[in-house]
């Protein structure tokens, strides 16, 4: 059955597969997307986010990727296109292009580097939401953008009919809880270590890089919690944390670690584009060990 949430519940921030010579691999993207939805525990995919190497893909490649993945997945999952940039006009144009290509929603990050004040940030999001007829997910990640979306700004933005969700990487459970309690916004953890804590305070689900390789293990945490099996949810959450740490908090970008694991597992991913560089053999071996522990291989 297709997901009922506006962007899904267990959402993968999908890598963008490239060929050996660095070109966009649309066949690989279709195969990976189909696997993530069919057996990877994902009812939603985010394309062209940070994990999807959006800074180094062209506007044309972004649209082609959406078209290809929507064709492969159909109505089995919600497809959300990352369209964020530091330029409001460019972002609105990317959002319209994603909608034309078949995306079910768009992910819009806070304008970065220029660090606009809160009302300017709010106007940026409203302008993009006004440009399309599909749901908008706000992406709050001040560690990358330099500016967060303050909870009071979220409360105002929630009044827009097409602003429907938040990818939350602000590390502020109090602020997130305040917005969740006061609005109908679908809140998604963007940090794997907070998947369970955010769900416990009313979050909807997650948007995860780790789900490229361990989606079923992540989904099992939410499933156990939703059944009321809190101790089991905690156990499963703790089991996946070492992999999340290896992939997301041990010095390499999640794109690099996800593609290293996908390659080691014989799945589409391919190379990363410069300035990123591939993980070393030693690092890939460590990632594989953490992956086996996370999915329960080896007796745990």
* Residues annotated catalytic, as ranges: 139, 167
60 is in an annotated binding site: no
Pairwise CA distance, residues 45 & 212, whole Å: 10
Residues 202 and 179: beta-carbon distance below 8 Å: no
What is the sign, positive or negative, of the torsion defined by CA atoms of 208, 211, 214, 215? Answer: positive
Pairwise CA distance, residues 293 & 289, whole Å: 6
Grouping H, G, I as helix, E, B as strand and the rest as coil, residue 175 is: helix
The residue to which tokens 């909870």 are assigned: 151
207 is in an annotated binding site: yes
In the chain, the N- to C-terminal Cα span, in Å, equals 32
Pairwise CA distance, residues 153 & 121, whole Å: 9
Q: Which residues, other chains included, contact 260 with Cβ-Cβ below 8 Å and sequence gap of 6+? A: 278, 279, 283, 284, 287
Q: How far is CA 172 from CA 80, 141, 175, 176, 195, in A?
A: 24, 11, 5, 6, 13
Q: How far is CA 188 from CA 12, 26, 78, 107, in A?
A: 11, 27, 14, 12
Pairwise CA distance, residues 280 & 258, whole Å: 13
Q: What is the CA radius of gyration of the chain?
A: 18
* Residues of the binding site: 51, 207
* Residues of the binding site for pyruvate: 51, 207
């Amino acid at each position: 059955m297709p997901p009922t949430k506006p962007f899904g519940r267990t959402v993968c921030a999908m890598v963008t597969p490239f060929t050996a010579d660095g070109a966009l691999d649309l066949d690989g993207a279709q195969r990976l997307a189909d696997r993530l939805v069919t057996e990877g525990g994902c009812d939603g995919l985010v394309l062209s986010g940070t994990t999807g190497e959006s800074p180094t893909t062209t506007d044309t490649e972004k649209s082609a990727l959406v078209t290809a993945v929507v064709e492969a997945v159909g109505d089995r999952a919600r497809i959300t296109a990352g369209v964020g940039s530091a330029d409001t006009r460019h972002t609105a144009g990317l959002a319209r292009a994603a909608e034309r290509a078949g995306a079910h929603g768009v992910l819009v990050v806070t304008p970065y580097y220029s660090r606009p004040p809160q009302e300017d940030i709010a106007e940026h999001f409203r302008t993009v939401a006004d440009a399309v007829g599909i749901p908008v997910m706000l992406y709050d990640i001040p560690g990358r953008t330099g500016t967060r979306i303050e909870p009071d700004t979220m409360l105002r933005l929630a009044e827009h009919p097409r602003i429907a969700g938040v990818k939350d990487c602000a590390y502020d459970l109090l602020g997130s809880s305040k917005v969740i309690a006061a609005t109908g916004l679908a809140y998604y953890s963007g940090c794997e270590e907070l998947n369970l804590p955010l769900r416990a305070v009313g979050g909807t689900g997650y948007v995860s890089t780790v789900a490229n390789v361990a989606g079923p293990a992540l989904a099992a945490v939410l499933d156990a919690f939703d059944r009321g099996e809190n101790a089991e949810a905690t156990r499963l959450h703790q089991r996946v944390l070492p992999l999340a740490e290896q992939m997301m908090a041990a010095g390499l970008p999640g794109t690099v670690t996800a593609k290293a694991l996908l390659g080691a597992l014989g799945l589409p991913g391919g190379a990363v584009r410069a300035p990123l560089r591939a993980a070393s053999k030693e690092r890939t071996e460590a990632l594989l060990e953490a992956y086996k522990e996370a999915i329960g291989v080896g007796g745990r």
